[in-house]
């Protein structure tokens, strides 16, 4: 069992960094607030006896020694960065659960054969810099360090420069990481555990994702003098695609399709929009279905282009559905049963660092319910009891793998 | 006849202030560039022997004395501010034509009974600060000075503060202006003169306009974990309205409907948009049709609200179709005939300062063709010959009314 109050207090303390008036958190990757959050985390980890290292993409590794330091660690971790309208739990719950596991082991004088290692992965959200899960993606080899350091935010700031600026371009190489097993605790961020009244989700895998940037090129022109039939309105074309993305997702249940980002140029109320830049996010747990969604998107764009606005589609990110390691999944299930928590198997709808860690290490995840299934919203909420449940399962699953 | 080269050279010189790589001009109202443009204009007007005053909303009045200074001036003018992706001619052509009229009168030693007055009206575009035609609207009494000084741009900067900052909050009162007659020369900004191969448009009136701000309130939520049927996606709702606005305009020819401005919040690719702010611009030359378009818009919004996203509509600007003074219209027609220019009657699709001046003085306008009917675009283009034509008509119409 873990110390529930201490876990909750740490969550509330961390939430002050970037805390919003609506009770959420805005701590975008590689901002000053991210730096503050990281520094507080390192302070806590060191106080808990961990040695701390930072790698070249800014991942923080906090190690509690094991009896046999030649063995690969049993890992856990998640992220401290949030969405612009983020909550207090998404990601943070995972890294603070990891810390609580170490603190509880210390309290109880538990020694493990394998070292325990908590990772705070860089830019999991993919909001300020796309794509998501960058820190774990670089370590897994999905991305090269160079391509990621070169990513730019919407203001043109370079990720590598921002990492330097906040002092988290570390010296540890991103290569050569290994885990005996890796577990990530996370709030579900969706409605299923709550609907089924389960305390714990045994995450067996994650759905596949495809991310795109689409650029629409129409022609700027006067809103009052340009007859309707002579227009090349980029916003009309992009609006058609927004609705099409919804239609495509609905035609492939339980797939999701979302346009979350859109920029209008010149964004002047009496000028017909000349160009639009927007994001598209398609997801499905079955890869074949995701392929069909991708195909439908391409077809929809061809239809829109026939109206006279040209569209450039950049499919810059894709990963196929993830299947977690059966032994790790069993360890989570066993811990849930042993501790008497109601539970169900579940597929992750979001991307998680664990998805990329599972490329190179046996991995699974532990989900806990969140109120009304709402996340990426300042009102994201969960209870202390729910947090305690997931963290206790994490402790037990890790202990099983780390050999007490 | 006017000095065509001098007019063209002045146009090209002014276009350097805010000149863009694509050959257009970005000189937004009350920016440092607007200040520079105004200062160059005042220098030129003073060199041409005008006395210059600035009023409390920043309108610049340049007066060439008449023989009887107790008589109201014959006025002309337009604006120096541009769209973000503006051209070199929209507005600028009108104020430089006015200057060329004065310069030509000086060259030819012409004396008029009435003074000649050129106005450079503040913020005609309505792009940085909405609505449009603010300077002329304050003078006509359509707007109060106080409400206009309190307008904010998208960054929250107050118009009154920006006016002070660039040194154009003048001392002349905005009240008590009068014109014996007022003429505004302007590029057509639409396709009709070119299509009909006419050199001059005799502008008999302007279409009515309705401007709105619409705010959509949905619910932010995770793009990967929120099932399609549980979403309140503000961008889906606003995209539906963008398409509806087009549909409404097409159902009421020759009406126009445009969404030129849209801001997405939080604008993060994996968060379902929680709120959208957008503009709507509806126009029609017949007021009854414009009323029907307004009604259709309200109905469309009610339908969209039924899908679960709430919409707030702020109809913050409206003016009914404008009919110009028949005597002034005749003066323009006579000048075109006398000078041998092919011409046609035309209705202004855009709003112009002349529309508001016509509230309190006999007014009409002179249109000249523009390439492919394109304006509010950096590629906006017209020829020196076309500029010369409109300016010569302006000179002659003004001379008729000013009594040589
Ligand atoms: N956990 C989470 O919200 N990850 C962000 C990446 C994604 O969009 O799935
Ligand atoms: N002339 C011109 O482009 N005016 C801007 C105001 C409008 O939108 O009509």
The closest alpha carbon to B117, from B173, B64, B177, B60, belongs to: B64
In total, the C-beta contacts within 8 angstroms joining chain A to chain B are 257
Tens digits of per-residue pLDDT, B132-162?
999 999 999 999 999 999 999 999 999 999 9
pLDDT bin (cut points 50, 70, 90) of residue B229 is: very high
Tens digits of per-residue pLDDT, A224-254?
999 999 999 999 999 999 999 999 999 999 9
Cβ distance B235 to A242 less than 8 Å, yes or no, reads yes
User: What tokens were used for B103?
Assistant: 């310069």
Q: Which residue of chain B comes nearest to A131, CA vs CA?
A: B269
Structure confidence at residue B12 (pLDDT): 98
DSSP characters over B59-111? -EEEEE--S-TTSPPEEEEEE----TTB-SSTTHHHHHHHHHHHHHHHHTT--
* Residues within 6 Å of ligand 2 by CB: A 222-224, 270; B 90, 124-126, 132, 189, 350-352
Write the CA distances from B123 to A239, B29, B52, B78, B159, integer angstroms: 30, 5, 19, 10, 10
Residues 6+ positions from A247 with CB-CB distance below 8 Å: none
Q: Which residue of chain B comes nearest to A128, CA vs CA?
A: B268
Cα angle, residue B85 at apex, residues B368 and B35 outer, rounded to 5°: 90
Query: Regarding beta strands B181-187 and B363-368, do their DSSP bridges make them parallel or antiparallel, or are they unpaired?
Result: parallel
Sign of the four-CA dihedral A65, A67, A71, A75 = negative
Q: For residue A246, report the distance from its CA to the centre of ligand 1, in Å.
A: 19
Asked if A97 contacts A396 with a C-beta cutoff of 8 angstroms, the reply is no
Tens digits of per-residue pLDDT, A43-71?
999 999 999 999 999 999 999 999 999 99
Q: Which residues of A touch B256 (CB under 8 A)?
A: 223-228
Structure confidence at residue A68 (pLDDT): 97
Tens digits of per-residue pLDDT, A359-390?
999 999 999 999 999 999 999 999 999 999 99
Tens digits of per-residue pLDDT, B78-110?
999 999 999 999 999 999 999 999 999 999 999
* Residues within 6 Å of ligand 1 by CB: A 90, 124-126, 132, 189, 350-352; B 222-224, 270
User: What tokens were used for A94?
Assistant: 């995972």
Sign of the four-CA dihedral A161, A162, A165, A170 = negative
Structure confidence at residue B386 (pLDDT): 98
Asked if B264 contacts A261 with a C-beta cutoff of 8 angstroms, the reply is yes
The phi and psi torsions of A301 (rounded to 5 degrees) equal -65, -40
CA A219 to chain B, closest CA, distance in angstroms equals 8
Query: Regarding beta strands A200-206 and A363-368, do their DSSP bridges make them parallel or antiparallel, or are they unpaired?
Result: antiparallel
Which of B29, B132, B136 maximizes ligand 2 atoms within 8 Å of its Cβ, making it the mutation to test the pocket?
Answer: B132
Looking at every residue in chain A, the average pLDDT score rounds to: 98
Q: For residue B352, report the distance from its CA to the centre of ligand 2, in Å.
A: 6
Query: Whole-angstrom Cα distance, residue A234 to residue A310?
Result: 9
Structure confidence at residue B78 (pLDDT): 98
Query: Whole-angstrom Cα distance, residue B123 to residue B69?
Result: 29
Structure confidence at residue A343 (pLDDT): 98
Query: Whole-angstrom Cα distance, residue B186 to residue B369?
Result: 9
Q: From atom 8 of ligand 2, which residue's Cα is the shortest distance away?
A: A270
Structure confidence at residue A67 (pLDDT): 98
Tens digits of per-residue pLDDT, A272-294?
999 999 999 999 999 999 999 99
Q: Which residue of chain B comes nearest to A267, CA vs CA?
A: B261
Q: For residue B376, report the distance from its CA to the centre of ligand 2, in Å.
A: 9
Residues forming a β-bridge with B276: B216, B264
Asked if A314 contacts A214 with a C-beta cutoff of 8 angstroms, the reply is yes
CA B114 to chain A, closest CA, distance in angstroms equals 34
Residues 6+ positions from A321 with CB-CB distance below 8 Å: A205, A206, A207, A208, A284, A285, A286, A287, A290
Structure confidence at residue B215 (pLDDT): 98
User: What tokens were used for B352?
Assistant: 């112009």
Structure confidence at residue A341 (pLDDT): 98
Which of A220, A221, A222, A268 maximizes ligand 2 atoms within 8 Å of its Cβ, making it the mutation to test the pocket?
Answer: A222
Write the CA distances from A77 to A118, A142, A159, A396, integer angstroms: 5, 18, 22, 15
Please return the burial class of A42, using the count of CB atoms within 10 Å of its CB with bins 0-12, 13-18 and 19+.
Answer: middle
Tens digits of per-residue pLDDT, B301-360?
999 999 999 999 999 999 999 999 999 999 999 999 999 999 999 999 999 999 999 999
Q: In angstroms, how far is CA B12 from the centroid of its own chain?
A: 20
Cβ distance B85 to A266 less than 8 Å, yes or no, reads yes
Count the Cβ atoms, other than its own, within 10 Å of residue B404.
10
Residues 6+ positions from A268 with CB-CB distance below 8 Å: B83, B84, B85, B125, B127, B260, B261, B376
pLDDT bin (cut points 50, 70, 90) of residue B294 is: very high
The mean per-residue pLDDT over the stretch B269-276 comes to: 98
- B190, B219, B268 ranked by CB distance to A127: nearest: B268
Q: Which residues of B touch A256 (CB under 8 A)?
A: 223-228
Structure confidence at residue A51 (pLDDT): 98
Structure confidence at residue A353 (pLDDT): 98
Structure confidence at residue B267 (pLDDT): 98
Asked if A91 contacts A79 with a C-beta cutoff of 8 angstroms, the reply is yes
Structure confidence at residue A227 (pLDDT): 98
Q: Which ligand is nearest to the CA of B136?
A: 2
Structure confidence at residue B378 (pLDDT): 98
Cβ distance B191 to A349 less than 8 Å, yes or no, reads no
The mean per-residue pLDDT over the stretch A89-103 comes to: 98
pTM of the model: 0.97
Tens digits of per-residue pLDDT, A320-365?
999 999 999 999 999 999 999 999 999 999 999 999 999 999 999 9
Structure confidence at residue B305 (pLDDT): 97
Q: For tokens 């919409």, name the residue.
A: B311
Q: What number does the ligand 2 atom closest to the CA of B349 have? A: 9
The mean per-residue pLDDT over the stretch A121-129 comes to: 98
Q: Which residue of chain A comes nearest to B131, CA vs CA?
A: A269
- B132, B223, B373 ranked by CB distance to A281: nearest: B223
The mean per-residue pLDDT over the stretch A134-156 comes to: 98
Rg (CA), chain B: 22
Cα angle, residue B319 at apex, residues B316 and B324 outer, rounded to 5°: 160
Query: Whole-angstrom Cα distance, residue B190 to residue B374?
Result: 6
Q: Which ligand is nearest to the CA of A225?
A: 2
The mean per-residue pLDDT over the stretch A152-160 comes to: 98
Cβ distance A271 to B235 less than 8 Å, yes or no, reads no
Quickly count helices (H) and strands (E) in chain A. Answer: 12, 16
């Amino acid at each position: 069992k873990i110390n529930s109050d201490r876990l909750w207090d740490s969550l509330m303390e961390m939430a002050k960094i970037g805390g919003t008036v609506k009770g959420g958190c805005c701590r975008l990757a590689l901002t000053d607030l991210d730096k503050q959050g990281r520094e507080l985390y390192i302070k806590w980890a060191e106080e808990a006896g961990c040695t701390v290292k930072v790698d070249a993409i800014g991942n923080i590794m906090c190690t509690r020694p094991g009896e046999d330091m030649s063995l690969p660690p049993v890992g856990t971790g998640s992220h401290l960065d949030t969405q612009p309208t983020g909550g207090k739990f998404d990601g943070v719950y995972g890294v603070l659960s990891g810390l609580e596991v170490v603190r509880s082991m210390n309290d109880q004088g538990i020694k493990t054969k394998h070292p325990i290692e908590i990772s705070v992965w860089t830019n999991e959200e993919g909001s300020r810099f796309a794509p998501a899960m960058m820190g774990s993606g670089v370590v897994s080899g999905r991305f090269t360090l160079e391509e990621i350091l070169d990513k730019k935010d919407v203001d043109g700031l370079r990720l590598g420069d921002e990492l330097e600026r906040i002092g988290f371009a570390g010296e540890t190489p991103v290569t050569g990481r290994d885990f005996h097993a890796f577990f990530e605790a996370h709030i579900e961020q969706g409605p299923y555990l709550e609907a089924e009244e389960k305390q714990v989700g045994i995450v067996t895998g994650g759905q596949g994702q495809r991310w795109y940037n689409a650029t629409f090129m129409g022609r700027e022109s006067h809103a009052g003098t340009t007859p309707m039939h002579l227009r090349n309105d980029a916003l009309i074309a992009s609006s058609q695609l927004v609705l099409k993305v919804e239609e495509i997702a609905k035609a492939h249940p339980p797939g999701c399709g979302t346009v979350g980002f859109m920029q209008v140029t010149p964004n002047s109320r009496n000028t017909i929009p000349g160009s639009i830049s927007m994001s598209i996010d398609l997801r499905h747990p079955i890869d074949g279905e995701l392929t069909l969604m991708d195909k439908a998107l391409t077809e929809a764009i061809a239809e829109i282009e026939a109206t006279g606005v040209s569209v450039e589609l950049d499919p810059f990110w894709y990963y196929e559905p993830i299947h977690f390691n059966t032994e790790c999944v069993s360890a989570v299930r066993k811990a849930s049963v042993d501790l008497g928590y109601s539970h169900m198997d579940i597929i992750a709808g979001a991307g998680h660092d664990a998805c990329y860690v599972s490329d190179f290490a046996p991995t699974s995840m532990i989900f806990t319910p969140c109120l009304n299934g709402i996340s990426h919203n300042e009102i994201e909420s969960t209870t202390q009891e729910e947090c305690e449940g997931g963290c206790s399962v994490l402790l037990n699953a890790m202990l099983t793998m780390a050999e007490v």
